[in-house]
Amino acid sequence: MHDIGKVGIPDRILLKPGPLTPEEFEIMKTHTTLGYQAIVRAEAIPPSARLMAVADVYDALISRRVYKPPFTHEEACQVIAQGRGQHFDPDVADAFADIHATFRAIAQQFQDEAPPPYERLASAATDGSV
Protein backbone atom coordinates (compact mmCIF):
# COMPACT_ATOMS: atom_id res chain seq x y z
CA MET A 1 0.00 0.00 0.00
CA HIS A 2 2.95 2.37 0.58
CA ASP A 3 3.64 2.50 -3.19
CA ILE A 4 0.05 2.53 -4.41
CA GLY A 5 0.94 5.09 -7.08
CA LYS A 6 2.99 2.48 -8.92
CA VAL A 7 -0.25 0.96 -10.18
CA GLY A 8 -0.41 3.97 -12.51
CA ILE A 9 3.06 3.33 -13.98
CA PRO A 10 3.16 1.24 -17.18
CA ASP A 11 4.57 -2.26 -16.66
CA ARG A 12 7.13 -1.69 -19.42
CA ILE A 13 8.71 0.92 -17.14
CA LEU A 14 7.95 -0.56 -13.74
CA LEU A 15 9.38 -3.98 -14.65
CA LYS A 16 12.20 -2.84 -16.95
CA PRO A 17 15.33 -4.83 -16.04
CA GLY A 18 17.84 -2.19 -17.15
CA PRO A 19 18.38 1.53 -16.64
CA LEU A 20 15.47 3.84 -17.37
CA THR A 21 15.68 6.51 -20.04
CA PRO A 22 15.30 10.10 -18.80
CA GLU A 23 11.71 10.08 -20.06
CA GLU A 24 10.93 6.79 -18.29
CA PHE A 25 12.49 8.10 -15.09
CA GLU A 26 10.25 11.19 -15.22
CA ILE A 27 7.22 8.90 -15.55
CA MET A 28 8.47 6.74 -12.65
CA LYS A 29 8.79 9.82 -10.42
CA THR A 30 5.06 10.51 -10.84
CA HIS A 31 4.14 7.44 -8.79
CA THR A 32 4.29 9.43 -5.56
CA THR A 33 1.82 11.99 -6.87
CA LEU A 34 -0.44 9.31 -8.29
CA GLY A 35 -0.39 7.50 -4.97
CA TYR A 36 -1.10 10.60 -2.98
CA GLN A 37 -4.08 11.40 -5.18
CA ALA A 38 -5.42 7.92 -4.47
CA ILE A 39 -5.43 8.63 -0.73
CA VAL A 40 -7.79 11.01 1.00
CA ARG A 41 -6.74 14.10 2.92
CA ALA A 42 -3.48 13.96 4.88
CA GLU A 43 -5.25 13.85 8.24
CA ALA A 44 -6.88 10.58 7.21
CA ILE A 45 -3.52 8.89 6.60
CA PRO A 46 -2.84 6.57 9.55
CA PRO A 47 0.27 7.34 11.64
CA SER A 48 1.75 3.97 10.66
CA ALA A 49 1.53 4.94 6.97
CA ARG A 50 3.15 8.30 7.70
CA LEU A 51 6.04 6.50 9.39
CA MET A 52 6.33 4.00 6.55
CA ALA A 53 6.46 6.83 4.00
CA VAL A 54 9.67 8.19 5.52
CA ALA A 55 11.19 4.75 6.04
CA ASP A 56 10.33 3.69 2.48
CA VAL A 57 11.77 6.83 0.90
CA TYR A 58 14.95 6.55 2.98
CA ASP A 59 15.39 2.92 1.93
CA ALA A 60 14.66 3.70 -1.73
CA LEU A 61 17.14 6.58 -1.75
CA ILE A 62 20.05 4.71 -0.16
CA SER A 63 19.43 1.54 -2.18
CA ARG A 64 20.99 0.84 -5.54
CA ARG A 65 18.44 0.56 -8.32
CA VAL A 66 18.87 -0.41 -11.95
CA TYR A 67 18.08 3.18 -12.87
CA LYS A 68 20.16 5.02 -10.22
CA PRO A 69 23.12 4.70 -7.89
CA PRO A 70 22.46 4.84 -4.14
CA PHE A 71 22.30 8.19 -2.35
CA THR A 72 24.54 8.72 0.65
CA HIS A 73 22.95 8.79 4.08
CA GLU A 74 23.44 12.55 4.20
CA GLU A 75 21.78 13.05 0.80
CA ALA A 76 18.82 10.91 1.86
CA CYS A 77 18.44 12.90 5.08
CA GLN A 78 18.48 16.13 3.07
CA VAL A 79 15.74 14.88 0.73
CA ILE A 80 13.55 13.93 3.68
CA ALA A 81 14.17 17.28 5.38
CA GLN A 82 13.25 19.09 2.16
CA GLY A 83 10.02 17.07 1.96
CA ARG A 84 8.98 18.03 5.50
CA GLY A 85 5.42 19.34 5.45
CA GLN A 86 5.03 18.62 1.73
CA HIS A 87 5.61 14.94 1.18
CA PHE A 88 6.09 13.93 4.80
CA ASP A 89 4.28 14.61 8.04
CA PRO A 90 6.36 17.33 9.76
CA ASP A 91 6.36 15.48 13.09
CA VAL A 92 7.56 12.28 11.44
CA ALA A 93 10.25 14.13 9.46
CA ASP A 94 11.42 15.79 12.69
CA ALA A 95 11.49 12.44 14.50
CA PHE A 96 13.51 10.98 11.63
CA ALA A 97 16.00 13.86 11.96
CA ASP A 98 16.34 13.08 15.67
CA ILE A 99 17.09 9.37 15.10
CA HIS A 100 18.69 9.37 11.63
CA ALA A 101 21.81 7.70 13.03
CA THR A 102 19.69 4.69 13.98
CA PHE A 103 18.38 4.48 10.41
CA ARG A 104 21.96 4.54 9.14
CA ALA A 105 23.02 1.76 11.53
CA ILE A 106 20.10 -0.46 10.53
CA ALA A 107 20.71 0.19 6.83
CA GLN A 108 24.39 -0.70 7.18
CA GLN A 109 23.49 -3.88 9.02
CA PHE A 110 21.21 -5.05 6.21
CA GLN A 111 22.90 -3.59 3.14
CA ASP A 112 23.50 -5.77 0.12
CA GLU A 113 27.03 -7.15 0.14
CA ALA A 114 27.47 -7.85 -3.55
CA PRO A 115 26.64 -5.53 -6.41
CA PRO A 116 23.78 -6.62 -8.68
CA PRO A 117 24.65 -9.18 -11.39
CA TYR A 118 24.61 -6.61 -14.19
CA GLU A 119 27.27 -4.56 -12.36
CA ARG A 120 29.44 -7.64 -11.80
CA LEU A 121 29.20 -8.42 -15.53
CA ALA A 122 30.02 -4.85 -16.50
CA SER A 123 32.98 -4.83 -14.14
CA ALA A 124 34.25 -8.17 -15.46
CA ALA A 125 33.90 -6.95 -19.03
CA THR A 126 35.98 -3.85 -18.35
CA ASP A 127 38.72 -5.58 -16.38
CA GLY A 128 39.11 -8.37 -18.94
CA SER A 129 38.10 -11.26 -16.70
CA VAL A 130 35.29 -12.34 -19.04
The CATH-assigned architecture of domain 46-130 is Orthogonal Bundle (1.10)
Per-residue CA distances from 70 to 10, 33, 42 (Å): 24, 22, 29
Rounded Cα–Cα distance for residues 88 and 77 (Å): 12
Threshold 0.75, pTM exceeds: no
- C-alpha 44, offset from chain centre: 23
What DSSP letter does each residue of 48-91 carry, written as one string?
HHHHHHHHHHHHHHHS-BTTBPPPPHHHHHHHHHHTBTTTB-HH
What's the rounded mean pLDDT across residues 105-124? Answer: 69
pLDDT in tens, 31-77: 666 555 555 556 778 899 999 999 999 999 999 888 889 999 999 99
Q: Where are the domains of the chain?
A: 1-39, 46-130
The 3-state DSSP class for residue 129 equals: coil
